[in-house]
Amino acid sequence: GTGLAVQVDVAVIGAGQAGLSAGYHLQRRGLTPGRGYVILDASPGPGGAWRERWPSLTLNTVNRVHDLPGLPFTDVVGTQAGEVQASLAVPAYFAEYEQRYRLPVYRPVRVALVTPHGARLRVEADRVTLSARGIINATGTWDAPYIPPYPGAERFRGRTLHTRDYRTAQAFAGQHVVVIGGGISAVQLLDEISRVTDTTWVTRTPPVFRDGPFGEEAGRAAVRLVEDRVRAGLPPNSVVSVTGLPVTPAVQAMRARGVLRRQEMFSEITEDGVRWPDGRTLRADVLLWCTGFRSALDHLAPLMLRGEDGGIVMTGRLATQAARDPRVHLVGYGPSASTIGANRAGAAAAAELLEFLKRP
């Protein structure tokens, strides 16, 4: 035999905000849970990457977690949960959501490869192989941390960490920590660590702070910039890179404490720290790279979706469809890499993929 244990119409890969939204919409459009579609998730329990967020990230300090379709977040976590850890509240919400809509989530199932198999796609996971007519990929970014290469990195005798390794500032007491990066995570971790120990903040370009609220129109414009990139086949950039950093009360307090003094990027890593182009050096125990994530898409490599510019040319109403293989949708990717974007992308992908699969 072919070893194809299970045949489905659609395999959704990943059960974060994007995968659950896609599942909800596939079901609403008539696909039967199980035979019509399944959701395969590598995580041991509900919550997507929210399960892994550091403990001090609370509902007060996240930007905002948008409701999944059909079930308000506050129905599950209440309205007084500001101090609750996001890594507990969001998984509780997703767990309730999966049950409420009886979503066919299978876990832990990590998809290793998706390969073309005639008119179908072969979805190979650790414990099962599926044959699907189309896929909605919703694997997020948490599994693809990005650290830019700098000369000397292999010589460094201190600790090299990424945002995703961060648990608590106390772990750094007495050590000099260089926080690298200009995004929201860099600023939040710098805030916490600088209360405990000496820090240096380094960013590639001068950070742009944004006073006042970020309007809906400006938000749409920022998302459109990312959307234009992926439609052109360029790798997506983060939405924050185009929206700037919000000046929160925490940021104002950091300014007052004098910890928001940014240094330009060093050019080299030494055995015991970093060196700038002018020869200046700094001794450091920890390099904490808050330099973001890439999309976790390695398992899609056999589909050869990438073009010459290193990105995947995306098409469709919300740019969720891979132009080179219309059976493949990417949600939570590029312009939809936010909880609200993931919601919308799930709806668009479900509609367009089913439309496509209906064609003779």
Choosing from 8, 22, 31, 43, the residue that interacts with ligand FAD (CB under 6 A) is 43
| Shortest reach from residue 266's CB to ligand FAD, in Å | 24
* 295 counts as binding ligand FAD under rule CB under 6 A: no
* 138 counts as binding ligand FAD under rule CB under 6 A: yes
Cα 111 to the center of its chain, rounded Å: 17
* 338 counts as binding ligand FAD under rule CB under 6 A: yes
Query: Which tokens go with 174?
Result: 């007495």
Among 45-53, 170-178, 283-291, 349-357, which window interacts with ligand FAD (CB under 6 A)? 45-53
Nearest to 20 by CA among 158, 168, 136: 136
- Select 269 or 336, whichever has its Cβ closest to ligand FAD: 336
Q: Name the amino acid, one letter, at 124.
A: E
| Shortest reach from residue 223's CB to ligand FAD, in Å | 11
* 15 counts as binding ligand FAD under rule CB under 6 A: yes
Task: Strand 159-162: give its sheet, edge to edge.
Answer: 159-162, 286-289, 177-180, 199-203, 262-264
Choosing from 91, 104, 134, 140, the residue that interacts with ligand FAD (CB under 6 A) is 140
Among 4-12, 17-25, 265-273, 316-324, which window interacts with ligand FAD (CB under 6 A)? 17-25
Alpha-carbon gap, residue 123 to 132, rounded angstroms = 7
- Select 49 or 226, whichever has its Cβ closest to ligand FAD: 49
**What's the burial of 36, exposed, middle or buried (CB within 10 Å: 0-12/13-18/19+)?**
middle
* 299 counts as binding ligand FAD under rule CB under 6 A: yes
* 321 counts as binding ligand FAD under rule CB under 6 A: no
Q: One symbol per residue from 149 to 188: x for binding ligand FAD (CB under 6 A), - otherwise; what is it?
A: ------------------------------------x---
DSSP code per residue over 205-243: S---EE-S---HHHHHHHHHHHHHHHHTTPPP--THHHH
Choosing from 8, 11, 16, 121, the residue that interacts with ligand FAD (CB under 6 A) is 16
DSSP code per residue over 293-320: B----GGGGGG--B-TTSSB-EESTTS-
Choosing from 53, 162, 229, 329, the residue that interacts with ligand FAD (CB under 6 A) is 53
Among 43-51, 167-175, 218-226, 320-328, which window interacts with ligand FAD (CB under 6 A)? 43-51
> Which 8-state DSSP code applies to residue 36?
T
* 7 counts as binding ligand FAD under rule CB under 6 A: no
Nearest to 305 by CA among 320, 322, 317: 322
| Shortest reach from residue 49's CB to ligand FAD, in Å | 3
Structure-token match 């493949």, residue found: 328
Q: Are 127 and 112 in contact (CB under 8 A)?
A: no
152 contacts: CB under 8 Å, gap ≥ 6: 268, 269, 270, 275
Q: Does 108 sit behind a cis peptide bond, omega within 30 degrees of 0 on the bond before it?
A: yes
Sites of contact with ligand FAD (CB under 6 A): 13-19, 40-43, 48-49, 53, 62-65, 110-111, 138-140, 142-143, 185, 296, 299, 332, 337-340, 342
